[in-house]
Amino acid sequence: MILSRFWYALLAVLAATAVGFAFALTFLYNQREESHNATQLAADSQTVEWAFKIDSRRRLDALIPLAANPAIASHASEIVNASDANKASNHRRELKKALVTVSPAAKEANGGSYAPDVVIIVGRDAHVLGFERVLAEAGKGRLPAWFDTIEQNPDFELGGYFAVLDALGGFERDDLWQLGDHIFLVAARPIVVEGATQPIGAIVGLKAIDDDFVKALAKSTRTSIVFFARGKRVSAGTDGSRDPAELDEELATLAHNQDFKDKMRTEPRAIRPSVSATFVRLPGEASMAGFAVIRQSDYLSTPLEAQVRLPQNFKEHLPVPLLGAIVAITFLLGLALTYLEHTIPLRALRRQATELMQGDTDSLAPAKLRGVYREAADAINDGIERVLIKRGGMSSRPADLSAILGPVGGQNQMSAFALPGNEPASTPVSGGPGFAPGFGIPVSTSPSAPPPAPRHNASPSAPPPRKGPPPPPPRMRQPVDNEATAVGMAPPERARAPSTSQTTEEADWLRVYEEFLSMKRQCGEPVEGLTFTKFAATLRKNRDALMSRHACTAVRFTVYAKEGKAQLKASPVRDS
Amino acid sequence: MERKQVPRLQKRATKVTVLFVNRIRVTEALRLGLLAAPALSLTLGSALAAPTIQLKGRISGYEKLVPEVSTEPQRTPQTSYAWRIPWALRARFPLLVSREICVVAFPANAVKDAPALDPVLIKVTGGRTNPVTLVVTPGTRIAFKNGDPFAHDLTSAAANWSRAPLQPGGTREWSPTAPGVAEFRDEFFPSVRTFVVAEKNVAAFAFPSDKDGSFVFSLPAGDYTLKAYFGGHPVGKPMTDVKVPQRGPAELKEALVVSAESK
């Protein structure tokens, strides 16, 4: 099953690699998304700035109907040059009428999209001469209520603003003003009277950057924009998925942002894990105000999220044949390994079990099985043996000769024949009638089994004696595997010869018998009562059991001495 | 005897001059609490007792002066006005010279610990203050009044002013304690920059006219030195040995040149 296990390990490594690769791709995707988001935010802010530049020029154009109107210029000039207050007051009223009359033209100029909310006419000293609402109504949210008071406020003037000063100097100018909590787009044009060397005043148009304006700007630039001043939101134009209030915390600390102060814009800042914003400082007088462009990133928290976000046509880009081939090859390879290492041995085991059940055989043949199946077969055989012995049957175990011949008094169970007269009376166990003493034949099935110490006239094929600790007693359930069996296995050419005929085998056993008697005598053991007939019967049973158990063709017996006693060793012989 | 009287007369005459030049109505000053009635009566009484003589003059070369606040965006590109054309800035300045230049009369004989001048009102409106540059003696009370319909936040490191909203119509006072220059700014209105210069021995100050750069002093008879201040520091060449006669108005024959700086 080593191949199957290797295959499982390989599959596990491949699976882990695939998951790790998916996470790596997710990281790469998120990194690219972050970079893309930063680029997009920069592009958005640029787009908004370009939109403002275009917007400012068109707003200047929208003031032309007012600035070029003769009535407005005339009355403004009269107010500036008036010598008495009454005359100036009269011209102020006339100027107001002219503004009301001309305002619709300014409203419709440039397609009507760039008209100012209010226009203010200022004189040479930048004090207010006239005021008119073109679009917005004061005090209703779009414009602060104080606009209605500027005409009556003698202190109010616009002379400090560069746009107005430049307009009074004869130039068209635009700017951004932050007046109170409002931000205004400013366009200023000079009012020129024919024959004068300098403008007699200027007309200033103001457009509040309110929600309506920002929404239109966001729509035209395809961005999400939030304008802010003094650390607070002023207006917003975002789609429904983004709450402008998310920026509040960031806006409160923006005044301390060095990039915002020095570079006029910040790097993309994370508002929440998937939302970033870039804050841009406005130019002009409203330089402490600004706008933020917001973008939502499609970050992947896990690779599985990619499945949800994949486009519909993704399947067209999948290498389906390659994926199918990988699946098929992987499946078939795993199937083949499983069949080879699991199905085949299982079938063999099942076949043997069936034969055992039908009585075709007395035990399983572990040698025909592999790995754990062999161990299982051994265990089953041992179990059968145990049950047989327990119920008074005869064991077919080759090593358990003492059970067959009966115990030999004063002898080690593994020792060879003992004289009945020297042994205490013992009861034959099974298969050994007439054998008062028993002898044990260690079956050389374990590699740890030590070879016999001295060898006397042993078979040439017997293993050489080795020095070392005494061998452990034979174990009932010791597994038999190929290597262990081979240790005590005689060379086939030698083993095959005596098995060709019964006579040869008996002659061989006679030789073993004589060697055994000789060994016992040398060891000082009694040999009375140990006849060849008994000896041969015991060897036969032992041979049959071993042949059945190990599917060998012959069993060869050798004599050796152990701890001063004669011993027999049975070695299964197989065809090579 | 005459020497001892001169400073006192100068002080009282200067108070009247300040009220005249700055065109602050007495009623408004009273409403602001800047002048108390007893002080006013004393000042007027003293002025009547020591007549002042009008000294007329004019400045020249102011066309070449450009306010620092206008050039500031050009020097720092990161705060430049992206939607403006900076090279046209100079064309606008001559229009409103009256706010930018302060002409100051110093007595020829310097006096130790010259008294404070009368309170001066500086209006904050229209993206600037009026006047932009003011020269007074230490101890002179200065009130900033917000003339805009929205709040301002004036700050000054020299005056130790932190941000505090100056509501529409509200005032905030300060007095220089020692000679020096204090600059006041509004963080949300970059064009607002005010310079209050504290100098010893200031007899009077005046602001030129927008039309022709002319100015008028009301000074007691004596010798004076005239200096022009622009953007918080002296500019041009000081005019020395200016004599105010005992009788009749006097007029300077030469203009006070303000174009070349004379720090």
Which residue from B minimizes the CA distance to A145?
Answer: B149
| Residue ranges per structural domain of chain B | 1-32, 39-262
User: Hey, CA dihedral for A374, A375, A379, A385, is it positive or negative?
Assistant: positive
Q: How far is CA A527 from CA A422, B116, B179, in A?
A: 9, 149, 140
Residue A495 has pLDDT above 80, yes or no: no
> Which of B127, B145, B168 comes nearest A160 by C-beta?
B127
Residues B114/B140, Cβ–Cβ less than 8 Å: no
Banded pLDDT at A298 (limits 50, 70, 90): confident
Q: Give B174-207 pLDDT, tens digit per residue.
A: 999 999 999 999 988 888 889 999 998 899 999 9
* pLDDT-above-90 percentage for chain A: 21
What is the rounded average pLDDT of the residues A53-69?
88
- Rounded to an integer, the average pLDDT of A79-90 is 87
Query: Structure tokens of A182?
Result: 């409002």
Q: Please name the helix (run of DSSP H) or strand (run of DSSP E) that holds residue A101, with its range, or none.
A: helix A85-108
Rounded CA separation A378/A382 (Å) = 6
Residue of A nearest to B145 (CA): A155
Res. A497: pLDDT tops 50? no
A124 chain-B contacts, CB cut-off 8 A = 95, 210
pLDDT for the residue numbered B103: 95
CB contact under 8 A, A284 and B96: no
Q: How many other β-carbons are positioned within 10 Å of the β-carbon of residue A503?
A: 9
By percentage, how much of chain A surpasses pLDDT 70? 78
Given this model, what pLDDT does residue A500 score?
A: 53
| pLDDT > 60? residue B133 | yes
CA distance A318 to chain B (A): 50
User: With left for phi above 0 and alpha for psi between -120 and 50, is residue B243 left, alpha or beta?
Assistant: beta
pLDDT above 50 for A457: no
Q: Which residue of B has its CA nearest to A167?
A: B92
Which CATH architecture fits B39-262? Sandwich (2.60)
pLDDT surpasses 50 at A423: no
Instruction: Please list every residue in chain B whose beta carbon sits closer than 8 Å to the beta carbon of residue A149.
Output: 149
Give the pLDDT mean for A380-401. Answer: 72
Instruction: Please list every residue in chain A whose beta carbon sits closer than 8 Å to the beta carbon of residue B91.
Output: 166, 169-171
Task: Give tens-digit pLDDT for A340-350.
Answer: 888 998 999 99
Tell me, letter by letter, the H, E, C secondary structure of chain B. CHHHHHHHHHHHHHHHHHHHHCCCCHHHHHHHCCCCHHHHHHHHHHHHHCCCEEEEEEEECHHHCCCHHHHHHHHCHHHCCCCCCHHHHHHHHHHHHHHHEEEEEEECCCCCCCCCCCCEEEEEECCEEECCEEEECCCCCEEEEECCCCCEEEEECCCCECCCEECCCCEEEECCCCCEEEEEEECCEEEEEEEEEECCCCCEEECCCCCCCEEEEEECCEEEEEEEEECCEEEEEEEEEEEECCCCCEECCCCEECCCECC
Residue that wins the pLDDT comparison between B164 and B93:
B164
- B149:A288 CB<8 A: no
The residues pairing with A276 across neighbouring beta strands, listed in sequence order, are A270, A295
On average, the pLDDT of chain A sits at 78
Q: Which of A204-213, A497-506, A560-569 has the highest mean pLDDT?
A: A204-213
Q: pLDDT, tens digit, for every residue of B65-115? A: 877 777 666 555 544 444 445 444 444 445 577 788 999 999 988 777 778
pLDDT in tens, A509-530: 888 988 888 888 888 888 888 8
For chain B, the maximum distance between any two Cα atoms, rounded to a whole number of angstroms, is 64
Confidence check: pLDDT of A387 > 90? no
Q: Does A263 touch chain B (CB under 8 A)?
A: yes
pLDDT of res. A388: 82
| Whether residue A484 has pLDDT greater than 70 | no
List C-alpha distances in Å: B34 to A478, B116, B172: 119, 14, 11
Find, among A344, A340, A374, the residue nearest to A7 by Cα.
Answer: A340
**Is the preceding omega at residue B107 within 30 degrees of 0, hence cis?**
no
Instruction: Give the global pTM.
Output: 0.64
Whether the per-residue pLDDT at B215 is higher than 90: the answer is: yes
Residue B100 φ then ψ, to 5°: -95, -35
Residue of A79, A87, A94 lying closest to A125 (CA atoms):
A79
| A5-41 pLDDT tens trace | 888 899 999 999 999 999 999 999 999 998 999 999 9
Tokens of residue A431, six digits? 């298969």
pLDDT of residue A482: 39
Q: Confidence band (pLDDT; 50, 70, 90) for A325?
A: very high
In terms of average pLDDT, the best of A132-146, A465-479, B236-250 is B236-250
- Please tell me if residue A169 touches chain B, with a CB cutoff of 8 Å: yes
Can you tell me the mean pLDDT for B118-127?
92
Say how far apart CA A297 and CA A295 lie, in whole Å. Answer: 6
- What pLDDT, on a 0 to 100 scale, did the predictor assign at position A329? 93
Amino acid A473: pLDDT: 43
For A300-316, b where at least 16 C-beta lie within 10 A, e where not — what string?
Answer: beebeeeeeeeeeeeee
**pLDDT tens, residue by residue, A198-227:** 899 999 999 999 888 899 999 988 889 999
Whether A79 contacts A96, CB under 8 Å = no
pLDDT of residue B235: 92
Q: What is the pLDDT of residue A445?
A: 44
Per DSSP (E only), the strands in A249-289 are: 269-272, 275-281
The owner of tokens 């400073």 is B7
CA-based nearest distance B247→chain A, Å: 32
pLDDT of residue B73: 61
CA-based nearest residue to B204, from B103, B98, B59, B60: B103
As a whole-number percent, the residues of chain B with pLDDT over 70 amount to: 70
